Amino acid sequence: MQPQQKVTASAYRSLIGQNGDRLAALRQQMDFINTIGKRFVAAIDRFQVHRALLSTLQDLYHFSACSILLEEDPIELTFQLSIIPSHPLNQAFIAAMMESIARAAEVIDFPRVTADELALMAYLDAPDDLAWSDSATPSAVTGIGDFLNIPLTVENRIIGMLSLFDEREGVFDAELLQLTTMIADYAAVALENVRLRERERALWRDAEMERQRLVLIINSMAEGLLITNEEGAITSLNNSAQHLLFQARLPLEETSTPLRRLAAFNEAKWLTDLADIIDKALAGHIIMGHELVADASDEAVPLTLSISAAPLYDSRQSMQTRILGVVAVLNDITSHKQLEKLKDEFVSIVSHELRTPLTTIKGYTQHLIRRIERRLRGTSATLPANAVAELPESYDLRSLNIMQSQTDHLERLVNDLLDLSRVQWGELNLHYSSFYLADVLAESVRLAQISAEQHTIFLDIDTPDSKLVADKLRISQVVGNILDNAVKFSPQGKQVTVILKEQGKEFQVSISDRGIGVSPDFFDHIFERFYRVRNTASRQYSGIGMGLFIAKAIVEAHGGGIWLSSNPGTGSTFYFTLPKVPRTGMLPAV
């Protein structure tokens, strides 16, 4: 390394004065500038820049103090003033410096700042070797003899001002102004670099703190959080997710292996389900509240997780089309499931208990109806028809018929309640047999017509052969539920039409009414459990929203589909399809 060259005013003067050997002079000049440059480049904080500045200036001049006024934040208009003394200064001299700096700042177009403000923010950066001992008493001189102000500029922007002060007059040599300005430029660049470095460090510190705060929040979340990369491999798991996966006997970790591949080597079926969900989200879909039965143990209610997943888009892209991975939230919903099971069991027990007295009531009502009918038949032979209608027995018969139809209604409700929990827990056992769908439709229409005195129900069988293998009772339940609704929700429209069609390997049944109709907004919901459209048109009708839920479950268990087309005010058509023969895998193993 080249030994540091001492820069002195006389050396510089002699350097520029010797014209004899211009090349040597130029080389020396370069060395001189190089030496100064190195001092500033080596400075890593503003105090080191101050030191470099002080020593460089002291090589040129003898002065009492120098000061650096810097804008700290151009938006908030905050400043920084450092006073670097060469020897101890007294208060009056410092106060005179403040006045001088405030005046000069105004002249160089620096934002306005008063001497008092400067005094408040001033920072005395005295070099360590400066004797502040008692022996070194501050100079008695209170006034400024001479001063020099040089704006500090970076890329043509004034970032501050360098000032030199001395007690004596005429010390600042105009000849050295150019060199001093160059030194000020070096200092300005060094100070700006330090400022940028400090800002960068502060930003990093803030970012790191924010990152740590996020990690803390994520790990304190009660919900499990799982993040994957674009291959579907887990890159991050919070504490709750780790705990849930551990409970599910699948202690997954952050790994580079995609879940799909992990699932291929693992017996847990739910891992395949999880991989499916992640793949769907990677394809750009949002999955909400999907249930994952995570544990196949013999528990009545196995560990059940609810998972919601969404694609994680690249935020750097303005269009946000690139998917970087998936963020998924896991919730343990086992206790909800347990409660649901308990509630369903309760409903099921109560329904069972209700069935026995109902059967008895129904039996006795039928018995009484038959007896009265027999008696009336005997009487009608001797009396004219209108006289029979007036008999007390005829009145009893009418009452008993109402009782019977209401008991039937109650029985259907109780049966629906029982079915509800069966559907819920996948216990809807189907009993397949071969029969003609046309017969089931005819019987359902006949039964519905009995209680629908206001309506005419038409049946249109559009196929010569309606042979079907299915659960006959369940299929008539589907038709009954839809027909009941068609009658119930069309008090004005007197016509209901049932059409049976053959469509390849399927039958399609449609049931149309001219009733209040359903807005398309509710199409997806009306097949949900306990869902009832609540608007002015439908509010007056009784019901608990089980019929369509059960109908859907039965049709789907047969491998068919159910849907509707409707418009409010003009009526609805409900469709369902059934495969003529159950698909492989649908029949129970014998």
Residue 545 is a binding residue for ligand ADP (CB under 6 A): yes
CA distances to 61, 126, 158, 221, 260 from 101, rounded to whole Å, are: 19, 18, 15, 56, 71
Nearest to 188 by CA among 155, 222, 228: 155
State yes or no: residue 311 binds ligand ADP (CB under 6 A).
Answer: no
Q: Which residues, numbered 6-35, are part of the site for ligand ADP (CB under 6 A)?
A: none
Query: Which amino acid is located at 251 in the chain?
Result: P
Structure tokens at 505: 């390997």
Q: State in angstroms the smallest separation of the CB of 549 from ligand ADP.
A: 6
Nearer to ligand ADP, 306 or 510 (CB): 510
Q: Does 422 bind ligand ADP (CB under 6 A)?
A: no
388-393 own/partner pairs: CB under 8 Å, 24+ apart = none
**Which listed range, 13-21, 219-227, 317-325, 510-518, lies at the site for ligand ADP (CB under 6 A)?**
510-518
576: contact with ligand ADP by CB under 6 A? no
Instruction: Give CA–CA dist 56/12, Å, rounded.
Output: 12
How would DSSP label each residue in 61-103? ---SEEEEEEEEETTTTEEEEEEEESS---HHHHHHHHHHHHH
User: Among 56, 67, 485, 508, which residue sits at the site for ligand ADP (rule: CB under 6 A)?
Assistant: 485
Choose the binding region for ligand ADP from 128-136, 257-265, 365-373, 484-492 (rule: CB under 6 A).
Answer: 484-492
Cβ distance to ligand ADP smaller for residue 50 or 514: 514
| Nearest residue (CB) to ligand ADP, 425 versus 531 | 531
> C-beta of 570: minimal distance to ligand ADP in Å?
11
Among 93, 538, 560, 578, binds ligand ADP (CB under 6 A): 538
The binder of ligand ADP chosen from 115, 532, 559, 565 (CB under 6 A): 532
CA atoms within 13 A on the CB side of 230: 6
> Which residue in the set 543, 559, 561, 579 belongs to the binding site for ligand ADP (CB under 6 A)?
543
Specify the residue, 63 or 489, whose C-beta has the smaller distance to ligand ADP: 489
Which member of 489, 507, 575, 576 binds ligand ADP (CB under 6 A)? Answer: 489
H or E element, residue 369: helix 334-380
What is the SS3 assignment for 449? helix
Our finding on whether 477 is near ligand ADP (CB under 6 A) is no
Identified binder of ligand ADP from the candidate list 232, 515, 560, 582, rule CB under 6 A:
515
Tell me if 480 contacts ligand ADP by CB under 6 A: no
Contact between 518 and ligand ADP per CB under 6 A: yes
Residues 100/147, Cβ–Cβ less than 8 Å: yes
Strand 495-503 and strand 456-462: pairing? parallel
Q: Residue 388 burial by CB count (10 A; 0-12/13-18/19+): exposed, middle or buried?
A: middle
Q: How far apart are CA 92 and CA 441, in angstroms?
A: 112
Q: Rounded to an integer, what distance in angstroms lies between the CA atom of residue 386 and that of residue 378? A: 15
Nearer to ligand ADP, 334 or 477 (CB): 477
Interface with ligand ADP: number of residues (CB under 6 A): 22
Among 151, 160, 480, 547, binds ligand ADP (CB under 6 A): 547
Query: b/e for 517-554, b at 16 or more Cβ within 10 A?
Result: bbeeebeeebbeeebbbeeebbeeeeeeebbbbbbbbb
Question: Which stretch, 343-351, 396-404, 480-488, 494-502, contacts ligand ADP (CB under 6 A)?
Answer: 480-488
Please give the residue ranges that form the binding site for ligand ADP (CB under 6 A). 481, 485-486, 489, 513, 515-518, 526, 531-533, 538, 543-549, 572
